[in-house]
Amino acid sequence: MSRTIHSDDAPLLEIDNLHTHFETETGTVRAVDGISFTVDRGETVCLVGESGSGKSVTSESITRLFHSPPGKIVEGDVRFDGESVTALDESELQSIRGGRIGYVFQNPQGALNPVYTAGQQIVEAIDLHHDVSSAEARDRAIDLLDRVGIPEAATRVDDYPHEFSGGMKQRVVIAMALACEPDLLVADEPTTALDVTIQSQILDLLRELQDEMEMSILLVTHDLGVVAEIADRVVVMYGGKVMERGGVYDVFETPKHPYTRALLDCLPGRGDAMEPISGSPPDPLDPPSGCRFHPRCPHATADCRQGEQPPEVEIERGLEASCLFYQSGYDADELGDWSYEGAGGGARR
């Protein structure tokens, strides 16, 4: 995929009505079932939701990292820098996967090959996309390890993965993802396996590198604390659908969808006692009719249980929700007011 010049006003990444399904022996799993969102240049967008909401499959669908079969994009489009990547073949995808789009995954142990040194694995990523000498690639690997905070990088470049701690392994994985200076970094639960102190360090590192390299970040997480610390905008997913989207401060301060409110009610230190969400996420093999959240929603009506997922409605500028109560003929006041004192205080502005 060749690099083209586009207006700075155009989104870097556009997900348009994406449907990614998996064919199994028991039926079709509708993991991602018609979602749309964008990531602007230099922006951090977080995909949030419970396990099974479709977040990871969405991130994998950008460059089709899932196995096919059984996975397949059956409808919709993914556009990167103005160009559709949905129909690209595997060799064409390789030119942007790991190059202009870098990936960081949850388990650094699984992302690193135990029989190769950290330096060898970073050099391999560089060699795939750049025609440079071995010496230049090694120097680049050392520089990257230094930039992500690996002490004595010139020595540790020759260490094997087992010689690094969990937090240091994740830094090596980030160095690999940044080897070709990507325009977009996709990070899928990059801090879940780390303790709180290391988690904070990794998030600080991502912000510093983002500012330095002027890249966009799409971060997948179920941790709303991470979202508050790093996001510019939030896309809330449930059952393969988008429930709510908006600026991080707006979503945290005055969430509109009952599911978003329920997620925030699970947080400690947010006013009242933590309230778990009753019930279970929907079965992707047999999702409910109407709103996907209605079996667990305390406000659900008979209308919520019929038809299809309600379309997203812009409630305030830049804040949208997929809830029947915001449709014409319904009264959103019935949902009640919801906000916590200082609810968005920790979120980025």
Model confidence pLDDT, tens digit, residues 199-230: 888 888 889 889 988 999 999 998 888 898 89
Report the percent of the chain where pLDDT is more than 70. 93
Which one has a higher pLDDT value, 341 or 259? 259
State the amino acid at position 286 in one-letter form: D
Is 90 exceeded by the pLDDT of residue 344? no
At 138-177, the pLDDT tens digits run 999 999 999 888 999 999 999 999 999 988 998 999 999 9
Task: Pull the structure tokens for residue 164.
Answer: 């690094």
Q: Which residues contact 23 (CB under 8 A, 6 or more apart)?
A: 29, 69, 70, 72
Are 142 and 154 in contact by the 8 Å Cβ rule? The answer is yes
Q: Is the dihedral of CA 188, 191, 192, 193 positive or negative?
A: positive
At 100-133, the pLDDT tens digits run 999 998 788 888 999 999 999 999 888 888 888 9
Q: What is the mean pLDDT of residues 313-337?
A: 88
Helix, strand, coil percent values for the chain (each to nearest 5): 30, 20, 45
The domain ranges of the chain are 101-181
At 6-55, the pLDDT tens digits run 446 789 999 999 999 999 999 999 999 999 999 999 999 999 999 899 99
Mean per-residue pLDDT over the chain, rounded: 88
The model carries a pTM of: 0.89
